[in-house]
Amino acid sequence: MTIGDAIARADAVKPNGVPEAEKIRWLTGLEGIIKNEIVDTHSGWEEEPAAALPSALGDALFAPPPFDETYVMWLLARIDFINGEYDAYANSSAVFNSAFSAFADHVNRTKTPRSAALRYE
């Protein structure tokens, strides 16, 4: 999934007035969290992730299908929050957290954790 795909899917579900640049910024932030907390802590990826985070509509996001729904759920939650729809935000956040956890759990089951060198004293 690309940044543009995630934005288009979120906009189709929840029309909104949030500028595209802001949605790109939100997705880049989430991708940074995924890279730091999930990807960089495990080895065994088919390809090493790029050093630069995605920042343009055509840039691919890291989580593969079916975990790429995480990005759409993130956008929907952020849109609800910005619109002051706090009940909807609570629901959207719960769905996002579930999707994010499913991806993290998948990585923990299928990839080898990178561990710091053991130190005995």
Is the distance from CB of 53 to CB of 33 less than 8 angstroms? no
**Which pLDDT score is estimated for 58?**
87
79: in domain = yes
Residue 74 in any domain: the answer is: yes
In this structure, is residue 56 part of a structural domain?
yes
| Count of structural domains, the chain | 1
Q: Has residue 118 got a pLDDT over 70?
A: no
Pair of tokens at residue 24: 């790109």
Residue tagged 């390809």 (tokens): 47
Of 35-39, 56-60, 67-71, 107-111, which has the strongest mean pLDDT? 67-71
The reply to whether 41 falls in a domain is: yes
Q: Assess if residue 29 is contained within a domain.
A: yes
Does the residue 17 lie in any domain? yes
Higher pLDDT, residue 47 or 97: 97
Tens digits of per-residue pLDDT, 65-104?
999 999 999 999 999 999 999 999 999 999 999 999 999 9
Work out the angle between the directed axes of helices 3-13 and 20-34 (0-180°, nearest 10).
Answer: 120
Give me the domain span that covers residue 19: 3-112
pTM for the whole structure: 0.87
pLDDT in tens, 49-63: 565 688 788 888 989
Q: Answer yes or no: is pLDDT of 45 > 60.
A: yes
Is residue 121 in some structural domain? no
Residue 117 domain flag? no
